[in-house]
Structure 1
């Protein structure tokens, strides 16, 4: 027989268990319902733009053949042991430096791309990828990936990249010329909470290494300029310039190629909009060269949460910022976008910056200048969010069983004291508001939890956003 105290304790335990179960079940139900509402709201926003005829877009420069494989399996196959040593290297010479560089970015969950100066070591890595049975090979490079996305979304694309044995382009994409060998990129991918020695990844991401010989030279630039004048595009998208980062150019060669690029941009028809897609740069001299010779001709800039503060640092004459917060607050990103507009405006370029798109793990932020040629900012922000999930999950449809929301139900519009707090409406999840001459739009991401591929995410997201903003 139970005593009265024991019986009361038993009843209390049962009631408590039922209450906890109810709260958890109700909370899970609310999360699922919010996901459904946000997805439907994003789909409605994306579909507000009617289907358009094929718009001409030009994209440059370069292409490669990408090998995708799990980072930790690859390191084991290379007989690389976890040391926990986190050291940044501008370029890679051997297995020890590769592991230290990987640790540095793995610890921060930050994407990075670095040149391998030792050709023999790079060939060892390629040989390993060819032996590893789960290596996945695809056409890659910023320009081909953005070109493919823009073609999928309805554009006719002229691509400033050369075909090579394994680099071929799909429907509605026309390349320039041919080369006899592939530039190969090795993409080491890892998932959130993966452990490497005593390190744990805070988010899914990748480290890319390459030993490119063709892409850094922009060797199709002059031929592409001739074809461009015949093509008459509505938009020119520039990317892939990180291939010039820490590349061993002969004296004066990189400066000459940047001068040629500047002339190319100067000669661009005024009717053609221009977009520059940033990347992971470490060499301050190159970034300063791009600030002087590319940014003055960019009407639109695209970048992630790591690349934005890095660019701002160099614009403000500070050292390059190799890593930043992998999940920044919306207010922080928006303030940095405001600062970027001001800094670029001071460069006094021949084209005015009228659009900035920052893509992060948790959200998309697109800011456009009212009265500019960019249209459909709200729908473009929604589409960018949806494509983030579609690309990373590797599926054109979105499975909410493999999605989660990181963005809170409200956010501050600025870090400034007294700034407005914006509430995210689940059924209308793209928050847009005006500040003077600018339109701000922020959309939550349905973050993919069953990852197929992180590499190329930014290129697909940026391409998707641009596809709805050109008439």
Structure 2
């Protein structure tokens, strides 16, 4: 479950405790490898907040997490929104809204049942969620373990928000979890066993790997190696499977290397933001020194396209199966793909951009006053064609969608999107964009 709230409002409520903290030393933005105290939390948060950078971190202290949760929910509680959280749950909801039938391996709880509209009648058409089989298999694999509900704290902030003298250069969020269940891919074997009973399922979305960073290195290594083996078996048994992996924020370099080796390099498609793209390129080029250093949160379009060009060159040189990237940088979306493996992406990128209004402050019924909450962000007059540097692609006032080639094999669509003046939340936005794009982007069928 995601609990979203205003970061400004919560940290204002903690003012007295933070003032006491500052007596023993100035509070300064910097990344702490372990977050076990209020100081290590607030300084790590301020670092990413002041950069406008997305971040997802796990606490090393359940007491700290409980302290923050209590300040949100009790003793003059602040305004917060409990919503379904987690990659698979967000994807499943999106798929159902697009009249797709989703097959999900997620934690079962009363909250999730309600949020995912889980009823026998509804699920017969829209949702396969064999959580009883998952629980039985997990018990056989891992023993009888009582799993509390995973709660994620989502510190939301808007461009221009100010906290402790620091200003956010763009809207984003800081995702903070306690992760009581260990995030050890408990459903993995069950998922792949059940997929065999549903041979029509060929499109798979995976995410949430950053939550494994609290586990011991050897355990993570063994679980990811097992997943790679199961992916290979699935592809060998029945061709045509396409695997999409959603990136996230990583704070441990050794874990990130495992994630690259056993997940990224085995995927067909990736969803990520502009900072995550830079991270994977630095790793591939042996330039990654500090994984916790925030990258530019507002790079130019030309810079992003150059990074994408390098990405596909390096993927091809390393003979990786990667053939598609759905990038969601600030102000636009980019979908780049190998034309020999994917159909045209025009509809997919437009429909993925149309999935974002649910994150704006509005009701389900569109009213005239809601229009004032939308804005078309400032756009360049043109972009340089990455395939032909001498060619300029003019950006029209009346068009938000552009197509061009990145190289001989790769085509890109760029979609500028309507910007919300007031956001309800940003958490889950990337997942919603990527899942909708993946739903509508058809792979080419093998002859």
Alpha-carbon separation, structure 1, partners of 2:292 and 2:61: 25
Q: What is aligned with 1:256?
A: 222
Indicate the SS of the match to 2:355.
Answer: helix
Q: What is aligned with 2:128?
A: 174
User: How many Å apart are 1:461 and its aligned residue?
Assistant: 0.7
Alpha-carbon separation, structure 2, partners of 1:84 and 1:126: 22
Counterpart pick for 1:273 among 226, 229, 242:
242
Q: What is aligned with 1:130?
A: 73
Confirm or deny: 8 A CA contact 2:271 2:325 kept in the other structure. yes
List alignment gaps of at least 5 residues for structure 2. Answer: 20-25, 136-145
Counterpart pick for 1:313 among 257, 275, 282:
282
Corresponding position: 1:121 with 2:94: no
Alpha-carbon separation, structure 2, partners of 1:326 and 1:389: 22
Alpha-carbon separation, structure 2, partners of 1:165 and 1:370: 43
Alpha-carbon separation, structure 1, partners of 2:193 and 2:68: 38
Q: How does 1:226-375 map to 2 (within 5 A)?
A: 226-232=193-199, 233-245=201-213, 247-249=214-216, 252-269=218-235, 270-317=239-286, 318-319=288-289, 320=291, 322-349=293-320, 352-372=321-341, 374-375=342-343
Confirm or deny: 8 A CA contact 2:151 2:179 kept in the other structure. yes
Confirm or deny: 8 A CA contact 1:406 1:447 kept in the other structure. yes
Corresponding position: 1:388 with 2:333: no
- TM-score of the pair, normalised by structure 1: 0.80
In the superposition, relative to structure 1, how do residues 209 and 80 fare at CA in structure 2: closer, same or farther (>3 Å)?
farther
Q: Deviations over 1:141-181 (max 9, x none)?
A: 11211221122122211112121243333352333345641
Alpha-carbon separation, structure 1, partners of 2:59 and 2:241: 36
Corresponding position: 1:161 with 2:128: no
Equivalenced residue count is 402
Q: What is aligned with 1:144?
A: 89
Confirm or deny: 8 A CA contact 2:374 2:419 kept in the other structure. yes
User: How many Å apart are 1:220 and its aligned residue?
Assistant: 0.9
User: How many Å apart are 1:409 and its aligned residue?
Assistant: 4.3
Alpha-carbon separation, structure 2, partners of 1:134 and 1:114: 22
Counterpart pick for 1:224 among 191, 194, 202:
191
Alpha-carbon separation, structure 2, partners of 1:123 and 1:278: 27
Query: Which structure would you say has the larger Rg?
Result: 1
Confirm or deny: 8 A CA contact 2:147 2:181 kept in the other structure. no
Counterpart pick for 2:426 among 446, 454, 457:
454
Alpha-carbon separation, structure 2, partners of 1:264 and 1:332: 37
User: How many Å apart are 1:134 and its aligned residue?
Assistant: 1.6
Corresponding position: 1:412 with 2:348: no
Confirm or deny: 8 A CA contact 1:412 1:419 kept in the other structure. no
Alpha-carbon separation, structure 2, partners of 1:415 and 1:375: 21
Indicate the SS of the match to 2:156.
Answer: strand
Alpha-carbon separation, structure 2, partners of 1:255 and 1:223: 19
Q: What is aligned with 1:423?
A: 394
Corresponding position: 1:69 with 2:13: no
